[in-house]
Copies of this chain bind each other. A is one copy, B any other.
Amino acid sequence: MANSPSGESVIHRVVRILSAFGEQSPALGLRELSRLIDLPVSTVYRLVSELEIEGLLVRDASGQLRHGHRLWELASRGSRASSLREAALPSMEDLINHGLNHVSLGVLEGNDVLYIERLAADDATVNITKIAGRLPVHGCSAGLVFMAYAQDAVQEMFLSRRLEKLTEDTVTEPERLRAILAEIRGRGYVSMQGIIVPESSGISVPIFTEKNHAVATLSAIVPRGAESLNLIVPHLKIASSAITRRLGYEPSGREIQRRSTPATF
């Protein structure tokens, strides 16, 4: 009973506190929060008070705790996610305006794909990706693209993990995956049917900066069976090049060179 008998750092505790707020619980009382993250009330009280001073947490009208706008601001200012999003949004809108129902933008984060942006025409096919949501690399078309362009060691690391089946059609056998990855590098896109939810298919292309280094992926989600690849794939590839250019790099079939004035990304 002293300065953290658990040996836990303040930083870790703060992350736990901030992580407690999410879609299911955007607002929490002190006690509720303390129960959720299993820390003494007085400890949570002290940390929360400090976070309030910093503006990372605020209290709403009813006294419930919420994330403060300051947290969003802090994260948005320096983040690659935001610059990526801004660079990609116009092209993504164009795709929606030209017939695609669902497009999303993902980055690689650990063993998951983190979705940075998602646009949908109102009619909406089934699509479980959410902004700031995650899917395991082997379980989504975007993830397979990241695997395909990853360094060999990283790729092997992904393949050696225990891979969970999200549906009947999720590919989990390392050998079959290896074949798929080789094909992705050859063709420059992937189309997977029903690997997340049975009703939908995902088509993804990489977004490059340096040659063959995928910083992000652009994906279209279409109803299963309605994949007109000869139309969609070129659209996605062109959009991907446009995004590369907006990020301050020069896209090209063979070479990707830095421009004289590269963006901060």
Of all chain B residues, which has the CB nearest A81?
A: B72
Q: Which of B23, B55, B76 contacts A264 (CB 8 A)?
A: B23
- Are B23 and A132 within 8 A (Cβ)? no
- Residues of chain B lying within 8 A (CB to CB) of residue A21: 77-78
- Are A75 and B74 within 8 A (Cβ)? yes
**In terms of DSSP, what is the predominant structure of the interface of chain A?**
helix
Q: Which of B14, B25, B69, B80 contacts A81 (CB 8 A)?
A: B69
Asked if A86 is at the interface of the complex by the 8 Å CB criterion, the answer is yes
Q: How far is the CB of A34 from chain B (nearest CB, A)?
A: 17
Of all chain B residues, which has the CB nearest A120?
A: B90
Q: How far is the CB of A110 from chain B (nearest CB, A)?
A: 7
**Residues of A64-84 whose CB lies within 8 A of B:** 66-83
Q: Which of B47, B67, B75, B131 contacts A11 (CB 8 A)?
A: B47
Q: How far is the CB of A102 from chain B (nearest CB, A)?
A: 14
- Are B78 and A18 within 8 A (Cβ)? yes
- Residues of chain B lying within 8 A (CB to CB) of residue A66: 78, 80
Complex A-B: 12 CB contacts under 8 Å: A11-B47, A15-B74, A23-B78, A69-B107, A71-B74, A73-B81, A73-B132, A74-B75, A76-B132, A82-B131, A82-B132, A93-B93
9 nearest CB pairs, A to B: A21-B78, A75-B75, A76-B132, A72-B81, A67-B78, A10-B10, A72-B79, A22-B77, A69-B109
